[in-house]
Every structure is written in structure tokens, then in C-alpha cells.
């Protein structure tokens, strides 16, 4: 699980070009400068590519924070 957070940290730092971002379970879009709806799509697409996973719209719609995102990734990587 910490692997997922490490990878998300590096991905978010890349997308927002900000080395201070750390992916924590509580981190939400509102906490990050520039994380608007367009950036959200960019994040989702970048995550899908980086982890080689695909999300259903229903999954994306209920994600409230990075914790939800990480849980969803982990479940998919575990074959869930």
C-alpha cells in the first residue's frame, strides 16, 4: 500500500509540478492548488496509465480523497 502512495506522490508532484505535494489518505482536491475538474480528469487518466488500471465512472464519482483513490487502485491491483 505504501508503494501506491509513493507512486501517487510522484505522480501528483508531476501533474501539479509541485514537489511539496505528498499523497496522504486525507488529501483532497480542495487542498491542492489547481486541482479543478479538468485537472481531476488529468489525474485520473495519469493514474490509469501509471498503474495500468481502469476505473468505472461509478468508482470515480464516489472518490472523495486520495485515500479512496489509493484503495481503489490497490483493490484493482490485487485483482479485486
Partner 1 sequence: MRVTRDLYADLAWLLPAPEDFRARRRALMADDATQVGAGVQALARHALNATQLTQLAETIAAAQARGADLAPLAPFTLGLVGNGTLDLIAPALVASAARHGVALRVVTAPYGQVIQEALNPHSAVNAAKPDAVLLALDHRGAPLSADLASAEASVKEAIGYINALKENFKANAGAPCIVQTIAAPAEALFGSFDRRLAAAQRAAIDAFNRALASGETGSDDILLDVAGLAETVGLARWHSPSEWNLAKLPFSSTYLALYADHVGRLIGAMRGKARKCLILDLDNTCWGGVIGDDGLDGIRIAEGDAEGEAFRDVQRTALALRARGVVLAVSSKNNDEVARAAFREHPEMILRESHIAVFQANWNDKATNIKAIAEELNLGLDAMAFLDDNPVERGLVRAFLPQVAVPELPEDPALYARTLTAAGYFEAIAFSEEDRKRAGFYEDNAKRAALASAVGSLDDYLASLDMEISFAPFDQKGRERIAQLINKSNQFNLTTRRYTEAEVAAFEADPACFTLQIRLADKFGDNGMISVILCKAQGDAWEIDTWLMSCRVLGRKVEQMALRELMLHARAQGVARLIGRYIPTARNGMVKDHYETLGFVKQADGARAGETTWAIATDAETPAAAPMRVVRVGALNDALPQAAE
Q: What does the binding site for partner 1 look like in residue numbers (CB under 8 A)?
A: 14-15, 17, 38, 41-42, 44-46, 49, 54-57, 60
Residue corresponding to grid cell 476505473: 55
- From CA 14, how far away is CA 21, in angstroms rounded? 10
Cβ of residue 46: shortest distance to partner 1, in angstroms?
6
- Pick the closer one to partner 1 by CB: 1 or 41: 41
- From CA 8, how far away is CA 10, in angstroms rounded? 5
Cβ of residue 16: shortest distance to partner 1, in angstroms?
9
Residue corresponding to grid cell 464516489: 62
- Pick the closer one to partner 1 by CB: 41 or 75: 41
66 burial level (CB within 10 Å; 0-12, 13-18, 19+) = buried
Cβ of residue 38: shortest distance to partner 1, in angstroms?
6
Amino acid at each position: 500500500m505504501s508503494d501506491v502512495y509513493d507512486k501517487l506522490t510522484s505522480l501528483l508532484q508531476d501533474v501539479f509540478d509541485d514537489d511539496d505535494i505528498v499523497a496522504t489518505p486525507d488529501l483532497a482536491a480542495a487542498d491542492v492548488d489547481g486541482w479543478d475538474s479538468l485537472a481531476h480528469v488529468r489525474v485520473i487518466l495519469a493514474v490509469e496509465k501509471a498503474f495500468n488500471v481502469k476505473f468505472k465512472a461509478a468508482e470515480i464519482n464516489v472518490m472523495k480523497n486520495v485515500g479512496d483513490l489509493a484503495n481503489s487502485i490497490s483493490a484493482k491491483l490485487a485483482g479485486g
